[in-house]
Amino acid sequence: MKKILSISFALFVLFLAACSGGTDEKTEDSTGSDAATDNTDQVLKIGAIPDQNASDLNRSLSKLAEYITEETGVRAEYVPSVDYSALVTAFERNEIDLAWFGGLTGVQARNRVPEAEAFAQRPMDEEFHSVFIAGADTGIQSLKDLKGKSFTFGSESSTSGHLMPRYFLMEEGIDPEADFDGQPNYSGSHDKTYKLVESGSFDAGALNVSVWESAVAEKKVDTSKVNVFYTTPSYYDYNWTINKVDEKFGEGTKEKIKDAILSVNSSNQPEIMELFQSEKFIETNNENYKAIEDVAREIGIIK
């Protein structure tokens, strides 16, 4: 009987040891998993306002992420945003490290993250334009002809699809909330704007000139059904803005990323630059977008 009890006790001790060993192993694995998660988190997240076809953005900006990884040694990935404001919020929360903003969203983001810096743009962004388009059978030939017509902007947070078109309408004495046939629509993106006007869902709309020209060149829009009747004066618009990356990735990271973006051109990365409808990026700075902020405050988009 004593022998049986001794054997049972020994087996019990072995069982406890095995359980203890399993717990230690689990703890070690858990630590390793946490460490892996920490490493995974150290990825440079790239965002962009979703102002055109989502698959085009995903393809080209994923290639840009690969290029940045190769050039800097910092692992990068593209993270799509559901809308303009979501990108600004993600940037504010430090969930996006590098963002392709429009003029207005860039101002909004940098107001929330004062250390952020607009550092690159396309040459066309120094003198950007919006175009007003109308259905061919609407009889619209000037901004004043828009009174009593249905109208669609792009995203409410878009510089070229809303802010500046609204500003130029107001300069012509047109109040979008009072003078259109019903309240103005917000399509959400430039490509949707021209499709809505082309289909006859709205009499007219406003969008980014480069998206319009690209759609015409690629025959994505039927110019027998919709055409441009007004092009705005120029203003500063799109830009690359970088977050507080040195705090996350180490000193000198910001300069590496800036150099990588400014080295992209149509010769070494043609697919990337095709999306941006440009041959290269050039330097810019926060001060260039002061006029955008002033307009946004004047019409109440920024308080």
| 154 or 28, higher pLDDT | 154
Burial of 277 (0-12, 13-18, 19+ CB in 10 A): middle
Please say if the pLDDT value at position 32 is more than 90: no
Fold of the CATH domain 129-231: D-Maltodextrin-Binding Protein; domain 2 (3.40.190)
DSSP tag of 145: G
> How does residue 52 score in pLDDT terms, banded at 50, 70 and 90?
confident
| 80 or 11, higher pLDDT | 80
The reported pLDDT for the residue numbered 20 is: 44
Helices vs. strands in the chain: H and E counts, helices first:
12, 11
The reported pLDDT for the residue numbered 9 is: 41
> How does residue 19 score in pLDDT terms, banded at 50, 70 and 90?
very low
> How does residue 303 score in pLDDT terms, banded at 50, 70 and 90?
confident
For 83, other C-beta atoms within 10 Å of its C-beta total 15
Q: What is the pTM of this model?
A: 0.80
| Residue-wise pLDDT tens digits, 198-253 | 999 999 999 999 999 999 999 999 999 999 999 999 999 999 999 999 999 999 99
Give the mean pLDDT of 60-80. 97
- The first and second tokens of residue 230, run together, are 């007004």
Architecture of domain 41-126+236-298: 3-Layer(aba) Sandwich (3.40)
The reported pLDDT for the residue numbered 30 is: 33
* Distance from chain centroid for Cα 289: 17
Please say if the pLDDT value at position 5 is more than 60: no
Determine the length of the chain.
303
- The first and second tokens of residue 81, run together, are 């945003």
**Rg, C-alpha atoms of the chain:** 27
In the chain, the percentage of residues whose pLDDT exceeds 70 is 86
Q: Are 286 and 240 in contact (CB under 8 A)?
A: no
Please say if the pLDDT value at position 27 is more than 80: no
Please say if the pLDDT value at position 21 is more than 90: no
In the chain, the percentage of residues whose pLDDT exceeds 90 is 84
The average confidence (pLDDT) of the chain is: 89
Cα–Cα distance for residue pair 258/293, rounded to 1 Å: 24
Report the range of poorest mean pLDDT among 18-27, 109-118, 142-151, 206-215: 18-27
Burial of 12 (0-12, 13-18, 19+ CB in 10 A): exposed
Cα–Cα distance for residue pair 299/157, rounded to 1 Å: 13
Task: Outline which parts of the chain fall under CATH 3.40.190.10.
Answer: 41-126+236-298, 129-231
